[in-house]
Amino acid sequence: MAKGFNHIMAKEITTTGAPSGARDRRALATSSDYPEAVELVSRLYDESGFDTVNIGPLSDSWRVERDRPAYVVRQNADELAANLARAPRTI
Q: Which of 28, 31, 38 is nearest to 7 (CA)?
A: 28
Taking only Cα atoms into account, the Rg of the chain, rounded to an integer number of angstroms, comes to 12
Q: What is the pTM of this model?
A: 0.93
* Per-residue pLDDT reduced to its tens digit, 54-84: 999 999 999 999 999 999 999 999 999 999 9
Structure confidence by residue, pLDDT tens digits, 7-23: 999 999 999 999 999 99
DSSP string computed for 34-66: -HHHHHHHHHHHHHHT-EEEEEESGGGGGGGST
Domains by residue range for the chain, with CATH: 2-85 (3.40.50.720)
